[in-house]
Amino acid sequence: MISKEAIIHYIKQVFPDSELSLIDKTGMMDHYQLEIISSKFQDMNRLDRQRLVYEALSEPMKDGRIHALEIQSQTPQEANK
């Protein structure tokens, strides 16, 4: 299990400019839905964006605190369309 606050902390270390929405999908603190908006995603395809998010969360993903993660990633320009 991992708290929302801990996940946000991990993400903000890599994406300091990000806007986040994080939902605990099951109430068990191990299945999350993440919506992230960051300028770091500029000129990146969807797969590379997901890799970068997974890299930011590598520790809790590897040790099993995060079991499942759905990711929606956008640049600020994409979010404002």
Say if CB 20 and CB 3 are below 8 A apart: no
What phi and psi, each to the nearest 5 degrees, are found at residue 38? -155, 145
Its pTM stands at: 0.91
- For the chain, domains (ranges, CATH) are 4-79 (3.30.300.90)
pLDDT per position as a tens digit, 19-78? 999 999 999 999 999 999 999 999 999 999 999 999 999 999 999 999 999 999 999 999
- The DSSP secondary-structure symbol of 26 reads S
State the burial class of residue 73 (Cβ atoms within 10 Å of its Cβ: 0-12, 13-18, 19+): buried
Does position 81 have pLDDT exceeding 90, yes or no? no
